[in-house]
Amino acid sequence: DVKVTQSSRYLVKRTGEKVFLECVQDMDHENMFWYRQDPGLGLRLIYFSYDVKMKEKGDIPEGYSVSREKKERFSLILESASTNQTSMYLCASRPDGGELDNEQFFGPGTRLTVL
């Protein structure tokens, strides 16, 4: 049974804190993604990675960074959390590279609240 897991389902942090969101997949997928989901906006891509140590900015990378030291793990980092980063964060993985037709496999999401 293929799986994408995220380190926390719920997280509460204070403004200015450094926040780490971890994602692990067990499918040996090359591609991994971080999205944030907000009401009325759908899913917006923050960063993606197509290989170990490789990363590309998505549509809303400001205030975020990522790390991919191992193929199965993709971390999202909020260097200094702000209240406008309160959101649901979804991690996904996808097999192969650059192909259009592969679906993504999603984790259960982390609901982050920044106070």
Partner 1 sequence: AQKVTQAQTEISVVEKEDVTLDCVYETRDTTYYLFWYKQPPSGELVFLIRRNSFDEQNEISGRYSWNFQKSTSSFNFTITASQVVDSAVYFCALSDSNTGGFKTIFGAGTRLFVKA
Cα 83 from Cα 28, distance rounded (Å): 34
The single-letter code of the amino acid at 39 is P
**Pairing label, strands 42-51, 54-57:** antiparallel
Binding residues (CB under 8 A) for partner 1: these are 9, 31, 35, 40-45, 48, 50, 56, 58-59, 88, 90, 92, 98-101, 103-109
CB closer to partner 1, 40 vs 62: 40
Contacts for 26 with CB less than 8 Å, ≥ 6 apart? 2, 3, 72
CB closer to partner 1, 65 vs 104: 104
DSSP state of 12: E
**Pairing label, strands 31-38, 10-13:** unpaired
Rounded to a whole number of angstroms, the minimum distance from the CB of residue 43 to partner 1 is 4
CB closer to partner 1, 58 vs 63: 58
The single-letter code of the amino acid at 25 is Q
Rounded to a whole number of angstroms, the minimum distance from the CB of residue 39 to partner 1 is 8
Rounded to a whole number of angstroms, the minimum distance from the CB of residue 28 to partner 1 is 18
CB closer to partner 1, 17 vs 86: 86
